[in-house]
């Protein structure tokens, strides 16, 4: 399995004004992801269960990017 990146400065990456991510995420899940949710995804990629996942990216954004398409 391959984890490609982490993007902690999401607002800047999307060109949003400060606080802009809060407005967008409120319309999707209504909350930020928890550290435990991110850890569970990372643990999956680190486990044998993901052995058939190669060159994959797992987007952990509560559906935000998909809603912008």
pLDDT surpasses 70 at 13 = no
**Residue the block writes with tokens 């987007």:** 59
pLDDT tens-digit map of 27-46: 667 677 778 888 888 888 78
Question: Is residue 68 one of the residues assigned to a domain?
Answer: no
Question: Is residue 30 one of the residues assigned to a domain?
Answer: yes
Residues 6+ apart with CB under 8 A from 4: 57
pLDDT surpasses 70 at 66 = no
Question: Is residue 20 one of the residues assigned to a domain?
Answer: yes
pLDDT of residue 21: 66
pTM recorded for the entire structure: 0.59
What is the rounded CA–CA span in Å between residue 50 and residue 23?
Answer: 33
Q: Which domain holds residue 14?
A: 10-62
pLDDT of residue 6: 47
3-state secondary structure of 27: coil
**In total, how many domains does the chain have?**
1
What is the rounded CA–CA span in Å between residue 6 and residue 45?
Answer: 14
Question: Is residue 22 one of the residues assigned to a domain?
Answer: yes
Question: Is residue 28 one of the residues assigned to a domain?
Answer: yes
Banded model confidence at residue 8, pLDDT cuts 50, 70, 90:
very low
């Amino acid at each position: 399995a391959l984890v490609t990146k982490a993007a902690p400065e999401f607002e800047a990456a999307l060109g949003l004004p400060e606080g802009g991510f809060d407005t967008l995420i409120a319309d999707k899940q209504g909350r930020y992801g928890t550290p435990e949710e991110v850890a569970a995804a990372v643990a999956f990629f680190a486990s044998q269960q993901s052995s058939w996942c190669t060159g994959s990216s797992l987007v952990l954004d509560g559906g935000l990017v998909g809603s912008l398409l």
